[in-house]
């Protein structure tokens, strides 16, 4: 019987699950290879929602998540579990996505075991190693030990070449566009109707990054509050992370306003529905900077720096940072200037057209000598 190469995918967080989902669906149909899906459990509950939405089932779940565990705890647990798994079932190719602790640690284990690594969303960079922390260091380190580099944009390709990586760099676009378009076309959640926000003028805001904890988060909330206070026909929908460092100040500043709806984290189908129906998105999320423009929604980035520089260059997003007055002025201008709004809403999304998964599969099959 002809040998079928084994591709192993290791993921641990919701963004990884979303961005891997369309790839997994298509890889499952490939008869010429074997596929194994491993969850680390870094974000167990949120990942399960995504897996259920896309009707994907993992093969192994390490279930490492515990309250108040450190990055070191996460890393050590993944190394211990994945080393045992690779000793029993060594893959021909490991696929990781992005810049999480799961992605970095899985790559490190694969490197030690001399397993080829394919890195999705390779080549994102900021100018500062500690911003964002630990993601910037994670992605730089993954790049240095990966075999195949799947870059989402031309700028990412350039960044990889500037990192002294000379071969196996592929411009594929980002699979998050594949995922979002799939959900937008195939899922009808009626979420906004259920929370009495259908047919309302909505802005969506999300904040979760460690760099925005504390004073930055308070400034963001006051900026959002001023937007709503100055636009009485507008409603703010804000999913709030469970972490009390985020929950407490958000509810204290925004919780009592009648035009502000604070919710728990949205399932991905609900999130896509909200993006489709909102006016603008204010976020510190990397994924939303890529996703929202595909549905024609301008993005205001609540960070001082972004690794998604193409979004800024192409005009689909603007950096506004965490200054409350700048957040208000920029958003208010966008809401009340039709020309400025349409310019952003109609800009070309630099992260692809929804065919990234097939590009990546074709490259993997070629690398593994699969006809």
pLDDT (tens digit per residue) in 195-229 = 999 889 999 999 988 888 999 999 999 999 999 99
The answer to whether residue 1 sits within a structural domain is no
Rounded to whole angstroms, the Cα distance separating 181 from 178 reads 5
Long-range Cβ pairs for the range 160-165 (8 Å, 24+): 160/122, 160/123, 163/123
- At 336, the pLDDT band (50, 70, 90 cuts) reads very high
Mean pLDDT, all residues of the chain:
94
Average pLDDT over residues 73-91: 97
Q: One of 34, 140, 161, 208 is an active-site residue; which one?
A: 208
- Structural domain span for residue 259: 189-345
pLDDT band at 132 (very low <50, low <70, confident <90, very high): confident
Contact 350, 158 (CB under 8 A): no
**92 and 154 housed in the same domain:** yes
pLDDT at 127 over 80: yes
Instruction: Give me the percent of the chain exceeding a pLDDT of 70.
Output: 100
DSSP 153: S
- Can you give the pLDDT at residue 279? 97
Same domain, 18 and 114: yes
Most confident of 59-68, 115-124, 192-201: 115-124
In angstroms and rounded to an integer, the radius of gyration of the C-alpha atoms of the chain is 20
Please indicate, yes or no, whether residues 38 and 107 belong to a single structural domain of this protein.
yes
| 260/196 same-domain check | yes
pLDDT per residue as tens digits for the range 298-330: 999 999 988 888 899 999 999 999 999 999 999
Is residue 307 domain-shared with residue 358, that is, in the same domain?
no
What pLDDT, in 10s, does the model give residues 145-185?
Answer: 999 999 999 999 999 999 999 899 999 999 999 999 999 88
Regarding whether 239 and 286 lie in a shared domain, the answer is yes
Pick 131 or 82 by higher pLDDT.
82
Average pLDDT over every residue of 349-362: 94
Asked whether residue 318 is domain-assigned, the answer is yes
The predicted-structure confidence for 134-144, as pLDDT tens digits, reads as follows 999 999 999 99
Do 116 and 212 belong to one domain?
no
- Catalytic site includes residue 270: no
Give the N- to C-terminal CA distance of the chain in Å, as an integer: 16
Do 170 and 223 reside in the same domain of the chain? Answer: no
| Residue 82 shares a structural domain with residue 157 | yes
- Residue 210 annotated in active site: yes
Whether residues 95 and 148 fall in one domain: yes
Quick: pLDDT tens for 83-98. 999 999 999 999 999 9
As a whole number of angstroms, the distance between CA 245 and CA 132 comes to: 18
pLDDT at 371 over 80: no
Residues 23 and 146 in one domain: yes
The reported pLDDT for the residue numbered 154 is 92
Is 218 an annotated catalytic residue? no
Give 296-310 as a DSSP string. Answer: T--EEE-SS--S-HH
Instruction: Residue 36: give its domain's CATH number.
Output: 3.40.50.2000
Domain-located, residue 179: no
- Respond yes or no: is residue 121 known to be catalytic: yes
Q: Is residue 264 part of a domain?
A: yes
In this structure, what are the phi and psi dihedrals at residue 198, rounded to the nearest 5 degrees? Answer: -70, 145
pLDDT for res 131: 82
Predicted confidence at residue 65, as pLDDT, reads 87
181 within a domain of the structure (yes/no): no
Question: What's the pLDDT at 254?
Answer: 96
Residue 298, in any domain of the structure:
yes
Q: Does 112 sit behind a cis peptide bond, omega within 30 degrees of 0 on the bond before it?
A: no
Higher-confidence residue of 103 and 2: namely: 103
Q: Which of 161, 241, 251, 257 is catalytic?
A: 241
Q: Is residue 180 part of a domain?
A: no
Tens digits of residue pLDDT in 241-255: 888 889 999 999 999
Residue 201: its pLDDT value, please? 96
d(CA 160, CA 144) in angstroms, rounded, equals 9
The residue annotated as part of the active site, out of 58, 85, 135, 178, is 135
- How many structural domains are present in the chain? 2
Residue 253, domain member (yes or no): yes
213 and 331 housed in the same domain:
yes
Question: Is 99 one of the annotated active-site residues of the chain?
Answer: yes
Q: Which helix (H) or strand (E) holds 247?
A: helix 244-254
d(CA 358, CA 364): 10
- pTM for the full predicted model: 0.86
One of 121, 178, 284, 310 is an active-site residue; which one?
121
Query: What's the CA gap between 307 and 127, in Å, rounded?
Result: 9
Percent with pLDDT over 90 in the chain? 84
Candidates 99, 178, 273, 307; catalytic one? 99
């Amino acid at each position: 019987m002809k040998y079928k190469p084994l591709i192993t995918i290791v993921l641990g967080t919701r963004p990884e699950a979303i961005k891997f989902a369309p790839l997994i669906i298509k890889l499952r149909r490939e008869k010429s290879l074997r596929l194994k899906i491993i969850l680390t459990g870094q974000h167990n509950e949120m990942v399960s929602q995504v897996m259920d939405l896309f009707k994907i089932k993992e093969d192994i779940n390490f279930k490492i998540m515990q309250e108040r565990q450190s990055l070191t705890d996460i890393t050590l647990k993944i190394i211990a579990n994945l080393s045992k798994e690779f000793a029993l079932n060594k893959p021909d190719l490991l696929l990781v996505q992005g810049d999480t602790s799961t992605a970095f640690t899985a790559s490190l284990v694969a490197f030690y075991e001399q397993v080829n690594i394919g890195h999705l969303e390779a080549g994102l960079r900021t100018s500062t190693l500690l911003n964002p922390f630990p993601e910037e260091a994670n992605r730089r380190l993954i790049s240095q030990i990966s075999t195949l580099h799947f870059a989402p944009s031309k700028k990412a390709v350039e960044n990889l070449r500037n990192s002294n990586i000379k071969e196996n760099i592929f411009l594929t676009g980002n699979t998050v566009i594949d995922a979002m378009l799939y959900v937008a076309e195939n899922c009808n959640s009626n979420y906004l109707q259920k929370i009495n926000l259908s047919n309302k003028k909505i802005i969506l805001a999300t904040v979760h990054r460690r760099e925005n904890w504390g004073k930055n988060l308070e400034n963001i909330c006051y900026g959002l509050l001023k937007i709503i206070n100055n636009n009485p026909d507008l409603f703010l929908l804000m999913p709030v992370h469970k972490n009390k460092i985020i929950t407490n100040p958000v509810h204290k500043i925004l919780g009592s306003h009648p035009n502000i709806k604070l919710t728990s984290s949205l399932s991905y189908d609900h999130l896509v529905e909200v993006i489709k129906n909102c006016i603008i998105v204010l976020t510190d999320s990397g994924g939303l900077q890529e996703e929202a423009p595909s549905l024609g929604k301008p993005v205001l980035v609540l960070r001082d720096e972004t690794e998604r520089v193409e979004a800024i260059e192409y005009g689909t997003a603007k950096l506004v940072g965490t200054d409350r007055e700048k957040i208000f002025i920029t958003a208010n201008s966008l809401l009340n200037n039709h020309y400025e709004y349409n310019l952003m809403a109609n800009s070309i999304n630099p992260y692809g057209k929804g065919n990234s998964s097939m590009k990546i599969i074709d490259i993997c099959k070629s690398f593994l000598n699969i006809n």
